[in-house]
């Protein structure tokens, strides 16, 4: 059964203890472990399409301003994902060896490194946000919106880091449900936030009834702010479940005080 936590936990425990599995059980586990990663990739792509499609209704210039800086936003997102992947792989090795104490230590190191690196990326983004659209060949009519979109979007980097790293840690610990659910929830909230932030207050017809819908009328910057808020909404529950609720990763399970170590692979 897809995303059957008791079943996946039992299969993962059997692997860690050197037990054998049937071909059907292996396929079942592969499917369950792959779903969160697939959803995460789909979510990342969808959020850009959501922003572009909803802003596109404002005109070609608004749509072009997002498309202009999209490669740069992808670059920042890839750097965040790379850091999360590195630490989650280390944690997966320790979890596979039934060394949950070291897995939690790797996780703590990942959060510290992630926050420091995300703040550095944010500083770089703030520094280049002004001239970036011009460097990419943007015209004077779209550069201001493109610059503001990139700046607000990259303000989400610390939250994106927390969301991405927490989801990766939960996945390697065998928890597929929470990352999958939050990935879908993040897309839904992106649409909702964009709906109220991009467009101005307007009247819409619902089943023959005219309703006044509040809107901030922020345009392109509203799309970026909607994405930022979506990352915040996603990061909070993922961090909570990873740090406080996970039966493998919860920090309350540690009896000894955490100490920073320079080499992850050298931890013993």
Residue 245 carries which DSSP code?
I
Structural domain boundaries enclosing 173: 5-16+24-253
In a 13 Å sphere around the CA of 239, the CA atoms on its Cβ side amount to 16
Lowest mean pLDDT among 33-37, 135-139, 147-151: 33-37
Distances (CA, A) of 48 to 32, 41, 67, 73, 153: 26, 12, 9, 10, 11
Q: State the total domains in the chain.
A: 1
Give the span between the Cα atoms of 178 and 186, in whole angstroms.
Answer: 12
Each residue's pLDDT tens digit, 206-237: 777 888 888 899 999 999 999 999 999 999 99
What is the Cα–Cα distance from 109 to 107, expressed in whole angstroms?
A: 5
User: Which of 174, 210, 18, 198 has the alpha carbon at shortest distance from 100?
Assistant: 174
Is the residue at 72 inside a domain? yes
In a domain, 267, yes or no: no
Q: Is residue 262 part of a domain?
A: no
Tell me whether residue 265 is in a domain.
no
Q: Tens digits of per-residue pLDDT, 160-180?
A: 999 999 999 998 888 878 888
For residue 13, the model assigns a pLDDT of: 65
Indicate whether 73 belongs to any domain: yes
Judge whether 260 lies within some domain. no
What is this structure's pTM?
A: 0.84
261 inside domain: no
The answer to the question of residue 210 being in a domain is yes
């Amino acid at each position: 059964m897809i995303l059957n936590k008791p079943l996946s936990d039992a299969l993962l425990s059997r692997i860690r203890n050197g037990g054998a599995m049937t071909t059907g059980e292996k396929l079942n586990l592969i499917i369950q472990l792959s779903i969160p990663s697939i959803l995460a990739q789909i979510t990342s792509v969808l959020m850009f399409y959501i922003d572009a499609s909803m802003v596109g209704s404002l005109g070609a210039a608004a749509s072009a301003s997002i498309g202009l800086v999209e490669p740069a936003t992808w670059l920042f997102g890839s750097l965040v994902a790379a850091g999360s992947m590195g630490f989650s792989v280390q944690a997966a090795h320790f979890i596979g060896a039934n060394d949950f104490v070291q897995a939690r230590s790797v996780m703590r190191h990942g959060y510290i490194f992630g926050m420091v690196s995300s703040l550095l990326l944010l500083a770089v983004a703030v520094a280049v946000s002004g001239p970036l659209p011009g460097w990419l060949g943007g015209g004077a009519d779209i550069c201001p919106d493109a610059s503001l979109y990139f700046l607000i979007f990259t303000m989400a980097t610390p939250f994106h880091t927390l969301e991405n790293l927490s989801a990766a840690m939960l996945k390697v610990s065998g928890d597929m449900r929470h990352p999958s659910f939050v990935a879908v929830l993040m897309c839904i909230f992106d649409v909702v936030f964009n709906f109220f932030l991009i467009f101005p207050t307007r009247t819409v017809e619902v089943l023959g009834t005219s309703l006044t819908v509040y809107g901030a009328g922020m345009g392109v910057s509203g799309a970026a702010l909607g994405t930022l808020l979506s990352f915040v909404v996603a990061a909070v529950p993922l961090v909570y479940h990873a740090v406080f609720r996970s039966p493998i990763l919860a920090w309350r399970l540690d009896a000894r005080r955490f100490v920073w170590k320079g080499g992850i692979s050298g931890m013993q």
